[in-house]
Structure 1
């Protein structure tokens, strides 16, 4: 700090000397001024040229700028040109500081507390009095009404708006009333005077006991000004961009120098009133805050009226959500987030992360979402459709329509066989990059799967037939929306006919796929032939068993399917038919054979009995048999012949 002060003092002194001082240096004659010019530094050795071994009695008299009003109890510090402090004393009640000083050039710095109120270069070449003029000036104010008539009997308060922080550093108080440094009443001419006012910024408050008005003035020299005081009842009405009242907003009214003069909150009708005011300026600046956000800043001219309607910085935002092809996305959620982080109403930054939620709504059938009366600023629009599909930041400075191109599109998949025929009897599963199932279904009769509202992503597609994968791969939706997928599937066409070549309509066909490692079947289908005895089916490559049953007919075939296949299958009577026939006919054959045997034995018996009768006749005729035995045996044999039907009745 000390080195900084040295540098500042040296620069100040050099500037004053190089510009050719015209100020009256206290106690200096024209001859002394000429001597001072001879001491413009050309090096450290040139600072003191005479009276090196003597000290002079030097008196510093601290006064106002006009040199008429002395100031006591001020801190007076003397520095040499290198910035080294020589002495520091307080001025007495008459404004004097008595010192013994070596000849040379010096800078005198005058302070009250931490406030610098003057500095001056002096050249000591003999004893004498130096008038050190501070930056204290006379302030003359004249108050008039709107018709330029003087306002007498008014009280004027003078507030110092400067807040010193450190030597050479200070703040200007703008948000509140500073320290009261003066109070006086106007005379018959409406004039009031303040003497010895330090340079700086002051708030002037005028009142007649009922009306009050403030005015801010910067003083950097003797000042005389006329203030026109107009009595007003000021009414401010705040409305949004759509005309709705803005309630509970903090309203501030500032003067031309940016100092806060009035403050209040709007009621539910958006109004704030300030009664019994003195307007000391024509133009004021009205600002309003809603929370930490500045929502309007607008000048008002008191000469044009006292009732003002102020439209705040609120706008309507229309969000149009479309997919990658520009088609609207209805019934999607749209979230609106405030991205501004406020440190003060005028000091803020844009949040890189998603800010607090302001509002949300759904899109209509045209994909439009409406947000009304949004404060100006930066917002983040997030569109959700199951997941986040669109994010856009918008700096809202006027009513606007924002088009959000969302991460949604359409997808067309066509599944075909090796020959390009539509593939229908296949199950399609689709997984997103996160591994989640997003679709499962089958193609239409033309082999198409058409999906809307698909997220842009890389999808894994798996095609299965009979619970066996026939194709799998990754579909890049970023690259293309239409994909044709050729699967290793072939058409098996068979015609079933009877032994005479006639087609077997509506025959029952069993189709089974063999596992590659054995004779076990991996799946089985039951089909029906058409009216011409045909079946046609798309199948993945493999070994298949096909059998057909139609009444007594049966046929089967084993097919190794690795290309398109066609064959005519001749069905013959089934073995079971022959077994059944044999089982049913065997008893009949046996019975028939038995019957036929009986029929074959009867002629032999007839012949036998006839031969016996002939032999019996011969023996009777030869007298070998008596008559009774003959007659008895003859009757028995004739009775047998009659039973066998071998004898005619005599």
Structure 2
């Protein structure tokens, strides 16, 4: 019959106890002792066993405590209470104290009793401190640390090994998690933060502080235009290797965006600006964590002038984008400086740029696939021409009427003058009587005076 492994371990401990010279106890019969010593042997003493971890910082409850006498006989069995104590009565003599946790021997100690006392029994329970850091050695706060124990099951077919979860803890702001009273053995530590980011297998035979560098890092991206000008308010989207949208943020005024909780993985980066995708590409955060990306955004410089090339200060500039031959609604409204200059950024595409300054209006179309510089010459606004037409038309008609009236008066004046001269000639030739001549002459002269003239006498 194959002996049980636990019995073998117990036997080894008992053999160790019996083989230790300083703990060997010679059996003495009561008949060989003096009478007063017989009384001392039969007396019992109050002994308090206090079970602690190996460092003596924590007292352990719920542990099975077995006490063997010098004849290797089990004389007492008990469980440590909430404070790690077990109070017993023992006669004077030598004993072996064996401590078990779930049938596993975790500690033993030789004990000689000759008086009442408190004895601290140290067991193989250790403190384990785990610090989780990212690739830049910064602590990862809020990560979950799972502790697995390797359990070996011996059977006729061999050894079966399984990992059993025994505890978990959350890291503090410094990235550290604490485990107390860990028995000696083989353990696996798994670190999770959204997904598994670190793992370590270790043997615990003393109190330890270990550091696990996890598969998490920070990613800093600088977005610039084709002229190295920082691109602010650009949308930066990260898509992980499974195709899921992982993170999204916007660049600051210097064109920077930083992601502080990025797994080491392959990512696809999409950069959008003004509603247009201006860049897409892939990166490996395990190789490159500080990127500078030059995107397809171009610089447009314009000078706004009037009919004769004079600058139009503080002109209003309206940008519209053409899609499939049509212009969508205005996408931006800007203003030129006091010299009529303006510079702005645009993604690739076809745009209509309209400029307005008082009664001036100008418009150009630009197919933008590179940096652009040009002049927008403005003409009078069509509304001004319409206004001038409607204002000048009544004046023109009035002027024509006045001119016609003036011309008619002039013709009438000349006609009456000719009639007066003809009347004078007929009177001088005796063809008209004086009475008729005098009457007609007065009528003609009166009419000529009304029309703006007077006959010289």
TM range, smaller chain? 0.7 to 0.9
What SS does the corresponding residue of 1:646 show, helix, strand or coil? coil
- Deviation per CA, 1:468-513, whole angstroms, max 9, x where unpaired? 3222111110111122223233322222222333322222223334
Distance 1:493 1:371 in 2: 64
What SS does the corresponding residue of 1:583 show, helix, strand or coil? helix
The equivalent residue for 1:438 is: 246
Judging changes above 3 Å, is the alpha-carbon distance between structure 1 residues 634 and 432 closer, same or farther for their aligned structure 2 residues? same
Judging changes above 3 Å, is the alpha-carbon distance between structure 1 residues 299 and 383 closer, same or farther for their aligned structure 2 residues? same
Judging changes above 3 Å, is the alpha-carbon distance between structure 1 residues 614 and 388 closer, same or farther for their aligned structure 2 residues? same
| TM-score normalised by length of structure 1 | 0.57
Say if 2:126 is the partner of 1:312.
no
Q: Which runs of 5+ in 1 are unaligned?
A: 1-140, 152-189, 191-207, 212-227
The equivalent residue for 1:389 is: 197
The equivalent residue for 2:48 is: 235
Residues 45, 114 of structure 2: 8 Å contact kept: no
What SS does the corresponding residue of 2:165 show, helix, strand or coil? coil
Judging changes above 3 Å, is the alpha-carbon distance between structure 1 residues 307 and 443 closer, same or farther for their aligned structure 2 residues? closer
The equivalent residue for 1:360 is: 169
- Deviation per CA, 1:330-382, whole angstroms, max 9, x where unpaired? 3x1333434244769xxx98633x614x2423413x33333344444444444
The equivalent residue for 2:326 is: 520
Distance 1:142 1:380 in 2: 48
The equivalent residue for 2:64 is: 250
Residues 351, 367 of structure 2: 8 Å contact kept: yes
Distance 1:428 1:328 in 2: 26
Find 2:88's aligned residue among 264, 274, 278.
274
Residues 501, 570 of structure 1: 8 Å contact kept: yes
Find 2:381's aligned residue among 574, 584, 590.
574
Judging changes above 3 Å, is the alpha-carbon distance between structure 1 residues 144 and 150 closer, same or farther for their aligned structure 2 residues? farther
Q: How far does residue 233 in structure 1 lie from its aligned partner after superposition?
A: 4.5
Distance 1:276 1:383 in 2: 48
Judging changes above 3 Å, is the alpha-carbon distance between structure 1 residues 502 and 142 closer, same or farther for their aligned structure 2 residues? closer
What SS does the corresponding residue of 1:505 show, helix, strand or coil? coil
Find 1:144's aligned residue among 11, 16, 29.
29
- Deviation per CA, 1:195-245, whole angstroms, max 9, x where unpaired? xxxxxxxxxxxxx9xx9xxxxxxxxxxxxxxxx988554432223445444
The equivalent residue for 1:263 is: 77
Find 2:336's aligned residue among 529, 533, 547.
529
Choose between structure 1 and 2: higher helix proportion: 2
Q: Which aligned pairs between 1:115-130 and structure 2 lie closer than 5 A?
A: none
Judging changes above 3 Å, is the alpha-carbon distance between structure 1 residues 600 and 431 closer, same or farther for their aligned structure 2 residues? same
Distance 2:31 2:394 in 1: 144
The equivalent residue for 2:219 is: 411
Q: Which aligned pairs between 1:84-103 and structure 2 lie closer than 5 A?
A: none
Find 1:339's aligned residue among 140, 149, 157.
149
What SS does the corresponding residue of 1:339 show, helix, strand or coil? strand
Residues 134, 216 of structure 2: 8 Å contact kept: yes
Judging changes above 3 Å, is the alpha-carbon distance between structure 1 residues 563 and 146 closer, same or farther for their aligned structure 2 residues? farther
Q: How far does residue 635 in structure 1 lie from its aligned partner after superposition?
A: 4.7
Distance 2:317 2:152 in 1: 79
Judging changes above 3 Å, is the alpha-carbon distance between structure 1 residues 402 and 256 closer, same or farther for their aligned structure 2 residues? farther
Residues 143, 229 of structure 1: 8 Å contact kept: no
Residues 143, 150 of structure 1: 8 Å contact kept: no
Q: Which runs of 5+ in 2 are unaligned?
A: 1-25
Greater RCO structure (CA 8 Å; 6+ sep): 2
Distance 1:262 1:342 in 2: 29
The equivalent residue for 2:401 is: 594
Say if 2:355 is the partner of 1:552.
no
Distance 1:313 1:526 in 2: 75
Distance 2:56 2:118 in 1: 20
Q: How far does residue 591 in structure 1 lie from its aligned partner after superposition?
A: 1.3
Find 2:112's aligned residue among 258, 281, 301.
301
The equivalent residue for 1:83 is: none
Residues 132, 139 of structure 2: 8 Å contact kept: yes
Distance 2:147 2:42 in 1: 47
Judging changes above 3 Å, is the alpha-carbon distance between structure 1 residues 611 and 251 closer, same or farther for their aligned structure 2 residues? same
Distance 2:313 2:245 in 1: 43
Say if 2:418 is the partner of 1:611.
yes
Q: How far does residue 409 in structure 1 lie from its aligned partner after superposition?
A: 1.1
- Deviation per CA, 1:401-435, whole angstroms, max 9, x where unpaired? 12121222111222233344433364322112232
The equivalent residue for 2:4 is: none
| TM-score normalised by length of structure 2 | 0.79
Judging changes above 3 Å, is the alpha-carbon distance between structure 1 residues 341 and 257 closer, same or farther for their aligned structure 2 residues? farther
Find 2:135's aligned residue among 310, 324, 349.
324
Residues 359, 380 of structure 2: 8 Å contact kept: yes
Residues 56, 122 of structure 2: 8 Å contact kept: no
- Deviation per CA, 1:258-317, whole angstroms, max 9, x where unpaired? 6533211223343223335474xx3x3212234455442222234687642213333332
Q: How far does residue 324 in structure 1 lie from its aligned partner after superposition?
A: 0.7
Judging changes above 3 Å, is the alpha-carbon distance between structure 1 residues 604 and 257 closer, same or farther for their aligned structure 2 residues? farther
Residues 319, 368 of structure 1: 8 Å contact kept: yes
Distance 2:126 2:302 in 1: 73
Distance 1:393 1:257 in 2: 42
What SS does the corresponding residue of 2:393 show, helix, strand or coil? helix
RMSD of Structure 2 on Structure 1 (CA): 3.8
- Deviation per CA, 1:550-572, whole angstroms, max 9, x where unpaired? 22222233333333222223223
Judging changes above 3 Å, is the alpha-carbon distance between structure 1 residues 615 and 253 closer, same or farther for their aligned structure 2 residues? same
Residues 340, 349 of structure 1: 8 Å contact kept: no
Find 1:428's aligned residue among 236, 241, 260.
236
Which has the higher Rg, Structure 1 or Structure 2? 1
Judging changes above 3 Å, is the alpha-carbon distance between structure 1 residues 613 and 146 closer, same or farther for their aligned structure 2 residues? farther
Residues 497, 569 of structure 1: 8 Å contact kept: yes
Distance 2:234 2:371 in 1: 18
Distance 2:216 2:395 in 1: 81
Q: How many residues align?
A: 426
